[in-house]
Structure 1
Amino acid sequence: MTKFDLHTHNQMCGHAIGTIEDYVKAGIDKGLKLIGISDHAPYFHHQEDHPQPGITMAKSEFTQYINEVLRLKEKYANQIEVLLGIESDFFPQYSGVYKQFLDEQPFDYLIGSVHFVDDISIFRKGRWDGLTNEEKVKTKERYYHLIEQSARSNMFDIFGHIDAMKGFYPEFSHIQVDAIDKTLQAIGEHEKVIEINTSGKTKDCGGWYPADGILERALFYNVGVTFGSDAHDPDRVGDEFEEVQQHLKEIGFNELHYFKNRKKYSVSI
């Protein structure tokens, strides 16, 4: 089995530790064949260079980020295949701006992630306090509508942690909505993939993103899957890859996907 990890961060985003090279070396140490570097894309829609330090890299660091990953790709070519990725937020009203910046670079893949609903971070503790059941349903529907829109935009190859809103609010998983099915259907129709992201274990919800119920429905809608640790520390690179692989097999998946030059490849599990 080709062991890989397509979702890793580094100190450029301001909330991870370690250099890009530290993550590449960790990948080698963990026996990975491929490692994807996918730090948080700048907020291209802001006029300021670095409107929110500690969340993303600055716009002025974008070229430096790409050049460093390409340098490491060459430096470690005989030990591990380094893939150039990025994790980008999806703001529908600014998608054209992001597309312009992202499409002109030699990315192997793009991860599209929704981190804000109603302009509030999905991870903000207390955002659910005082909401009625109806308001909670509508919030969850808006979350999945944004992910569905990101799928239909055809901007991304992978959709990141598609139930991460449960991170600090585990009850999120029990809010019943039909929007998840529409979202998965859109991802399947566009032949894109979702990631099994093992960083949920670092949040209140524990476990992985997404929940088994979503994975089972993803299989029904022919949605492909990939693996990402979402490591913000080199020690977490490749974290629980084998366990994820085994669990996916039990659910009924028989392959994992990765991307090179925006082209999808599959490996049997």
Structure 2
Amino acid sequence: MRDFHVHSNYSDGDFLRSMVRAAESAGLEGVGIADHCNVATREKPASMRNVYGFNLDLTYERRRRGIERLRDDFDLEIYDAVEMDYDPRDEGAIDAFLAEAGFEYAIGSVHGVDGRNVQVPTQFTDMSEAERRAVVDRYFDRLVALVDSELFDIAAHVDLLERTSPLRGLATDDHYRRVAEALADSRTIPEINAGRALTDAAVVHPAEPFLTVLRDHDVAVTVGTDSHQPGEIPDRADFLAEFVDETGLEPVAPDCLER
């Protein structure tokens, strides 16, 4: 069992050593430290980056030195990775940064549509159903663009809007098929993400209807706990192990780690 999606204090998680220690204690064979990063220069994302500190482009070398030290101290694989916010307007900047930084793998994620974070219910509660459906359409347009960009090894939480009650359940099989067809033709693979699986919302990404479509298209998957705190890793890793066993899935590592 390897967990390819964990955060540290280099974005919005706990101390790097604490996260790795928790992964080792949970019996994982490997853990991927994939801190958030945003390289957009537009005013709003740049301001959010300053507020939340998603600036791994400025700190990845220091974090890399920390990871190298931890590899001597712990008996598991520790992967040097990144989770990047994707916007089609930033493809050039993302490509240049990834080429410069040389991470072992890169995760791409869509968190926002039209300047709204799709995880914040209050941004959608006053919308009509038609307006919400339009947001869902644009989310999946952006997700397909992420896959088509071929910038990323992993696509994170591919139905993130299922976390948000005003948007939950509005995605259709047509949305899922578009993404599945793009993934089937891409090196990018989606993850089974346990970030909200053990909450009251009990959301597993991708949701069962989406996962069925991915399986119909023979799309491989990987796994990630999306943990931000050490205490989250053991239970989420156990959940993922049970989930893939019950569903008959055989998760893979990103191709770049298997070469």
Could you say if the C-alpha distance between residues 256 and 170 of structure 1 is closer, same or farther in structure 2, counting changes exceeding 3 Å?
Answer: farther
Asked whether the equivalents of residues 30 and 76 of structure 2 are also in contact (C-alpha less than 8 Å), the reply is yes
Could you say if the C-alpha distance between residues 43 and 227 of structure 1 is closer, same or farther in structure 2, counting changes exceeding 3 Å?
Answer: same
SS at match of 2:223: strand
1:188-237 CA-partner distances (Å, limit 9, x unpaired):
21142111111113666323222111111111112111111110101112
SS at match of 2:180: helix
Query: What are structure 2's unaligned runs of at least 5 residues?
Result: none
Instruction: Tell me which residue corresponds to 1:258.
Output: 253
Residues in 1 aligned to 2:86 and 2:234: alpha-carbon distance in whole angstroms: 26
Asked whether the equivalents of residues 69 and 84 of structure 1 are also in contact (C-alpha less than 8 Å), the reply is yes
Instruction: Tell me which residue corresponds to 2:203.
Output: 207
Q: Match of 2:122, as an amino acid?
A: G
Q: Match of 1:200, as an amino acid?
A: R
> How large is the RMSD of aligned CA atoms in angstroms?
2.4
1:65-103 CA-partner distances (Å, limit 9, x unpaired):
233223323x246x1111111100101011110110112
Could you say if the C-alpha distance between residues 202 and 11 of structure 1 is closer, same or farther in structure 2, counting changes exceeding 3 Å?
Answer: farther
Residues in 1 aligned to 2:30 and 2:57: alpha-carbon distance in whole angstroms: 27
Instruction: Tell me which residue corresponds to 2:23.
Output: 27
CA shift for structure 1 position 58? 5.6
Is 1:192 matched up with 2:159?
no
Asked whether the equivalents of residues 28 and 80 of structure 1 are also in contact (C-alpha less than 8 Å), the reply is yes
Judging by fraction of residues, say which structure has more helix.
2
Pick the aligned partner of 1:12 from 4, 10, 13.
10
Asked whether the equivalents of residues 136 and 170 of structure 2 are also in contact (C-alpha less than 8 Å), the reply is no
Residues in 1 aligned to 2:199 and 2:131: alpha-carbon distance in whole angstroms: 23
SS at match of 2:31: strand
SS at match of 1:38: strand
SS at match of 2:52: coil
TM-score, L = length of structure 2: 0.89
Is 1:66 matched up with 2:64?
yes
CA shift for structure 1 position 171? 5.0
CA shift for structure 1 position 116? 0.7
Mapping 1:1-269, distance limit 5 Å? 3-13=1-11, 15-16=12-13, 18-45=14-41, 51-54=49-52, 56-57=54-55, 59-73=57-71, 75-76=72-73, 79-169=75-165, 172-176=168-172, 178-201=174-197, 205-253=201-249, 255-259=250-254, 262-264=256-258
Q: Match of 2:95, as an amino acid?
A: K
SS at match of 1:40: strand
CA shift for structure 1 position 125? 2.4
Identity of aligned residues (%): 23
Asked whether the equivalents of residues 70 and 84 of structure 1 are also in contact (C-alpha less than 8 Å), the reply is no
Could you say if the C-alpha distance between residues 238 and 86 of structure 1 is closer, same or farther in structure 2, counting changes exceeding 3 Å?
Answer: farther
TM-score, L = length of structure 1: 0.86
Residues in 2 aligned to 1:182 and 1:257: alpha-carbon distance in whole angstroms: 22
Could you say if the C-alpha distance between residues 51 and 195 of structure 1 is closer, same or farther in structure 2, counting changes exceeding 3 Å?
Answer: closer
Between stretches 50-59 and 25-34, larger displacement belongs to: 50-59
